[in-house]
Amino acid sequence: MQNRLTIKDIARLSGVGKSTVSRVLNNEGHVSPQTRERVLAVIEQQSFLPSKSARAMRGQSDKVVAIIVSRLDSPSENQAVRTMLPLLYEQGYDPIVMESKFSVQRVQEHLQVLQQRAADGVILFGFTGLDEQILEGWQEKTVIVARQYQGFSSVCYDDSGAVNLLLNQLYQQGHRHISYMGTHEADTTTGALRTQAYQAFCEHKQLEPVLILGELTYHSGYELAEGILRPDTTAVICASDSIALGVAKYLQQQHKSDITLCGIGNNLLMRFLFPQALTVELGYGRAGTEAVRLLMSQLHSAPSGQHIIVPCQLADPLP
């Protein structure tokens, strides 16, 4: 049943003017704490607004934690979020999932809303272009996933270790002509760290590096695959399973079944379509668990600025 009370009714019951009620509803200043509390009490008592909204206007928290993902359709981030949700529920927090779409402006807008709602904490998936200045003031109740920021607690993946796992495995198998397809180094983790790990390994083992950088998509992998193949290429490492999917399709169409393909991410579609490929499990689920653990410790007065790197491992073969 729709509530028929108006602002005029709330003003009459509170003993204040309509403009005062309007300022309270819009969370504006120039209202004494006593008057604001009296108006909010009437609002809540008369069910003019849900009690949670009224409490939020008081500046009190409803035990809310926001999870700001970069993309709602990201398989890796979804794996992390799936482990976060039950842990937050167990601790009595209401999780809110928001999407940044790699937009700094969207992150700013989300944080403004969360500040108005007096959210208890934030778990944010970082991305290139988002820096500490944007997050200023949130250090004590924020944990960043996949990026490390000065003064913030973070949970990161072992990007260099993942590439080295694959390279060592291939080297032990006798491969000496290993190409690499990555993404642009403006992306610090998937781009720069993984590419640098490949280059350092080649230098250490005195192997000729053959690499090309593109986008973090299977389309890019498919279109650029020809450029990393040499007559003596025996293996290809891709910076992600998304890229590897595109390379796999190209190799399949060219009937090049003698090349060992490797990716990073343990993507289930990749493993289903190309079970012979090697892939690295980065520990997305564990990252979600660690992010919640860090956030809970901070909300109970532990200092911020802790950093965790989740160990990676070669994915087990599918049965």
pLDDT at 42: 82
CA pair distance 39, 160, nearest whole angstrom:
57
Q: Which residues make Cβ contacts (< 8 Å) with residue 244, sequence separation at least 6? A: 218, 221, 238, 261, 262, 263, 267, 270, 274, 277, 279
pLDDT tens-digit series, residues 266-316: 988 898 999 999 999 999 999 999 999 999 999 988 888 999 999 999 998
Given a cut of 70, the residues of the chain with pLDDT beneath it are 1-5, 26-28, 47-62, 318-319
Angle, alpha carbons 235-240-244 (nearest 5°): 50
Predicted pLDDT of residue 303: 87
At 282 the pLDDT is 97
Question: What domains are there in the chain, each with its CATH number?
Answer: 7-57 (1.10.260.40), 64-157+285-311 (3.40.50.2300), 159-281 (3.40.50.2300)
pLDDT recorded at residue 62: 65
pLDDT value at residue 250:
97
Q: What are the structure tokens assigned to 97, written together?
A: 């999932």
Give the pLDDT of residue 132: 87
Phi, psi of 143 (to 5 degrees): -125, 130
Position 302 scores a pLDDT of 82
Full-model pTM? 0.77
Quote the crossing angle between the two packed helices 18-25 and 33-45, to the nearest 10°: 80
